[in-house]
Amino acid sequence: MFKSPVLRGILIAFLLLFSGMLLSSWSTDTLVQRIASAIVAGLMLLFALGLLAPRRLGWIFRVLAGVVFLVYLAYFGHQLWRLLSGDAQSFSPGRPSALMAGLGLLILGVPCLIFALSGLPPSQWSPGRRRGPDDEGKGAP
């Protein structure tokens, strides 16, 4: 993923910095905001751990990809529920709607689900190919 140790170090530093910044406003946040901040900061720290030791902790990237899929699925479900309940929605970029949530689910959520389940980055996806024990460590042809 990120083969350069310098790039990984910079990303880890930014993730640690941003998670600290996110948690620095707890004194003025409500309980719900504190819970959301803690979850996002925890995910950023998990990402930093995965970057720290990608070979040993590579499973973290699959977990994070699964979380991204679940968040987009929940967002799509929420927007669809609002649409079916009669809520007026404008179908334009930057405005919450079932259409925009569905596009986000298809463009970002589904690839994250595929990565979470297969462990293969998009560059190695091939529709008709199945991985076997002989393919371990090899990329797609």
List the chain pLDDT tens, one digit each, 141 residues.
677 889 999 999 999 999 999 888 888 889 999 999 999 999 999 999 999 988 898 899 999 999 999 999 999 999 999 999 998 888 778 889 999 999 999 999 999 999 999 988 877 777 665 555 555 555 444
Q: What is the pLDDT of residue 140?
A: 47
The answer to whether residues 43 and 19 touch, using CB atoms and an 8 Å cutoff, is no
The answer to whether residues 2 and 11 touch, using CB atoms and an 8 Å cutoff, is yes
Residue carrying structure tokens 């190919």: 129
The answer to whether residues 96 and 87 touch, using CB atoms and an 8 Å cutoff, is no
The answer to whether residues 45 and 14 touch, using CB atoms and an 8 Å cutoff, is no
Cα separation, 73 vs 75, in Å, equals 5
